[in-house]
Amino acid sequence: MASSTHASASVAEPRALDARRVGVALFRVVRRYPFPCLVTLVLFLIGAGSGLADFVAPYDPNAINPADRLQGPNSTYWMGTDALGRDVFTRVLYGGRASLGVSVTSVALGVVVATAVGLVSGALGGWFDVLVQRIVDMLMAFPGLIIVISLTAFFGTSVSLLVVVIAIALLGGGIRISRAAAIQVGSQPYIEAARTIGATTPRIIVRHILPNALPPIMVIATAYLGVAILIEASVSFLGYGIQPPAASWGFMLGAEARIHMIEQPWLSVWPGLAIFLTVFSFNIIGDALRDAFDPRLRGAG
Amino acid sequence: MRGYLVRRLLLAVLTLFGISLIVAGVMRTLPGDVVDVLAAEAFYNDAEKERLREELGLEAPFIEYFGDWLVNALQGDFGRALRTQRSVGDDLVNRIDVTLELAFLGLIIATVISVPLGIVAALQRSRWPDYAARSIAVFALAIPGFWLATLAIVFGAKWFTWSPPLGYQAIWEAPLTNLQQMWLPALLFGLILAGVQTRILRTALLDVLRQDYMLTARAKGLSRVMLLRRHALRNSLIPFITVIGVQFPVVLGGSVVFELIFALPGVGIYLLDGIANRDYIVVQAVNVWIAGAVILTNLIVDVSYGFLDPRIRVSS
């Protein structure tokens, strides 16, 4: 901020409407962290394209057109067509809507539950903490993919079940991180001070521990978005995730599609590239968030 | 050390018991009449259905059912697969070597890649070798294993008219054929796993390098190579071994996909077949086995801490 006159002038104006100020701040962030910003932009484009697939996609995702089957990328079909002559670009957009929808919802669910359990467990200690730790041990003994395919195969393959099951697969690690954060925050003098002036345990957990434990939880949530995308894609790849004819990135690379990939190798490129770019972006943003929240770890991983 | 070992062992047994209980509980809460579903899948008649119902102990209360299952499992009897009527325990023993070989080769390749990358990245911190090593690691972390494997198959066939040999041969039957089948999945698997390992090793090394005793060692005139060998690498071993323990579940999960794409008859394929046949005896056994393998690995990792770091031995 330049001078004191400038600062005092801005008090009089409504700050939120000061577009120039926002622009300057944005420019500074972009210049300081160019790569995370670029990645955020990529992710934003993938998210907007997928979320608005109904308006953006050039074709109907399920329109079969045998005359145009197995084409390579061209000006009519930007990413070519699949074995039924469906537009691959359109299906990648719709697949993204399914993938992102499932992973964002399951991460939200998993992280909220894990945070609640982990914070209470870390703050209370005692028998509850011991119990939670044993449960976490058990959850961590199952590979995420194994939990998800075992449960979806038996309980059916609905999208809402997929969300819940992926959330369960993320619980163990999430509880471990938030519990560690709660214990670390709980040993701070200000928690003792709050207790001294008579704050109740629920109040301390919600008002003091939760806000201070949020940074590591947000970092793990971002990393989990990538993990959830990978799990969802693997499960759909194996045929137990999002069911055809609905488009999904995983299924587009699955056994049925693989038959035609020798004939039209482009089919094997696009959905995988979409998964890779999305997961890569979430990981980079997760790393950037971690650096921002905890400068001691800057460039540590 | 002894108390530490005993405590770890007890915890591992307790966890495995809890897991068996949960898996059995989940299997018992399957929607609908399980026997009807299973019988329809396996084309059983009414008499066979009755026998199945009795054999599974589904009429018995859960405690009794679980007790029977546990007693049998402890004797290595995990029941018979519904469709093939073969012993699930025997099937698993016959398939575990494929999965373990893939996991083992993958971890070795990942270590061969990640150790030099991690060391270079830590020593050349914030210079181009560091950025290069970290970029490789972040790339590896984000690439789905099944995509890499699919690309290898598709473009292998397209450009080199190469496809993985069919008909799996065990390593002790035909070592050469076995390695011909295994090298590519193991290499791709190793590339994927190297991402996390590189990151952890680099962080661990950086942590050690900024310790005061490193400065002392340098001050007393130790060469950089000795410094790295005697102090830095040894002290970063613990986080590195931890990551192999943490990664083991990922390895077993990832193995499913590689086994499927490269037609390797391991435990992962067995699970997929079990799921496709809705054979819950198989799924239950595989889940308990996988969890058991993970717990055993973590136990070995915990015990090796005690050997590597005397402080852990003493304090517990």
> Which chain B residue has the Cα nearest residue A238?
B257
Low-confidence ranges of chain A (pLDDT < 70): 1-17, 294-301
User: Which value does ipTM take for this structure?
Assistant: 0.86
Q: Which of B275, B295, B296 to mutate to test the interface with A (most CBs of A within 10 A)?
A: B275
- Please choose, from the candidates A243, A283, A282, A273, the residue with its C-alpha nearest in 3D space to the C-alpha of residue A92: A273
Which residues of chain A lie closer than 8 angstroms to B26, CB-CB? 151
Q: Residue B33 has what pLDDT? A: 58
Cα separations in angstroms, B150 against A237, A269, B88, B146? 11, 9, 30, 6
Q: Chain A to chain B, count of Cβ pairs less than 8 Å apart?
A: 141
What DSSP letter does each residue of chain A carry, written as one string? ---HHHHHHHHHS-GGG-HHHHHHHHHHHHHHSHHHHHHHHHHHHHHHHHHTHHHH-SS-TT---GGGTT--S-SSSTT-B-TT--BHHHHHHHHHHHHHHHHHHHHHHHHHHHHHHHHHHHHH-HHHHHHHHHHHHHHHTS-HHHHHHHHHHHH---HHHHHHHHHHHHHHHHHHHHHHHHHHHHTSHHHHHHHHTT--HHHIIIIIIHHHHHHHHHHHHHHHHHHHHHHHHHHHHHTSSSPTTS--HHHHTSHHHHHHHTT-GGGGTHHHHHHHHHHHHHHHHHHHHHHHH-GGGTT--
Q: Check B253 against A141: CB less than 8 A apart.
A: no
Rounded to 5 degrees, φ, ψ at B226 are: -65, -40
Q: Check B11 against A143: CB less than 8 A apart.
A: no
The answer to whether residue B300 neighbours chain A at the CB level (below 8 Å) is no
Q: What's the Rg (C-alpha) of chain B?
A: 24
Residue A190 Cα, gap to closest chain B Cα (Å): 29
Per residue of chain B (316 residues), give pLDDT as tens. Answer: 677 788 888 988 999 999 998 888 887 776 655 667 666 666 777 777 777 777 766 667 778 888 888 888 888 888 888 777 788 889 998 898 899 999 999 999 999 999 899 989 988 888 888 888 888 998 998 999 999 999 988 888 878 877 777 778 777 777 888 888 888 999 999 999 998 889 888 888 888 888 888 888 888 888 888 888 888 888 887 777 877 777 788 888 889 999 998 889 999 999 998 888 777 788 889 999 999 988 988 888 888 877 777 776 655 4
Which residues of chain B lie closer than 8 angstroms to A280, CB-CB? 138-139, 141-142
Model confidence, pTM? 0.87
Q: Which two tokens stand for residue B251?
A: 């390895």
Nearest to A280 among B142, B151, B199 (CB): B142
Q: Please, are residues B282 and B274 in contact by the beta-carbon 8 Å criterion? A: yes
Q: Residue B315 has what pLDDT? A: 58
Q: Within 13 Å and on the Cβ side, how many CA atoms surround B205? A: 26
Euclidean distance between the first and the last CA atom of chain B, given in angstroms as a whole number: 8
Q: Residue B41 has what pLDDT? A: 63
Q: Check A155 against B31: CB less than 8 A apart.
A: yes
> Which chain B residue has the Cα nearest residue A263?
B158
Q: Please, are residues A145 and A230 in contact by the beta-carbon 8 Å criterion? A: no
Which residues of chain A lie closer than 8 angstroms to B276, CB-CB? 153
Q: Please, are residues A158 and B284 in contact by the beta-carbon 8 Å criterion? A: no
Helix axes of B62-74 and B2-28: crossing angle, nearest 10 degrees:
130
Q: Check A151 against B26: CB less than 8 A apart.
A: yes
Neighbours of A6 (CB within 10 A): 10
For residues A244 and A201, give the distance between their C-alpha atoms in angstroms, rounded to a whole number. 49
The answer to whether residue A276 neighbours chain B at the CB level (below 8 Å) is yes
For residues B183 and B162, give the distance between their C-alpha atoms in angstroms, rounded to a whole number. 13
The answer to whether residue B257 neighbours chain A at the CB level (below 8 Å) is yes
The answer to whether residue A240 neighbours chain B at the CB level (below 8 Å) is yes
DSSP, res B232: I
Which residues of chain B lie closer than 8 angstroms to A265, CB-CB? 154-155, 158
- Please choose, from the candidates A247, A229, A253, the residue with its C-alpha nearest in 3D space to the C-alpha of residue A169: A229
Q: Please, are residues B267 and B253 in contact by the beta-carbon 8 Å criterion? A: no
Interface of B with A in 23-82 (CB under 8 A): 26-27, 30-31
Q: Which of B21, B154, B246 to mutate to test the interface with A (most CBs of A within 10 A)?
A: B154
Q: Residue B42 has what pLDDT? A: 64
For residues A164 and B286, give the distance between their C-alpha atoms in angstroms, rounded to a whole number. 22
Which residues of chain B lie closer than 8 angstroms to A154, CB-CB? 27, 30, 275, 278, 280, 283
Q: Check B287 against A142: CB less than 8 A apart.
A: yes
For residues B17 and B9, give the distance between their C-alpha atoms in angstroms, rounded to a whole number. 12
Nearest to B202 among A150, A156, A301 (CB): A301
The answer to whether residue B151 neighbours chain A at the CB level (below 8 Å) is yes
Amino acid in position A140: M
Helix axes of B280-308 and A144-155: crossing angle, nearest 10 degrees:
160
Q: Which two tokens stand for residue B233?
A: 């690498």
Which residues of chain B lie closer than 8 angstroms to A276, CB-CB? 142-144, 147
Residue A212 Cα, gap to closest chain B Cα (Å): 24
Under DSSP, is residue B126 helix (H, G, I), strand (E, B) or coil? coil
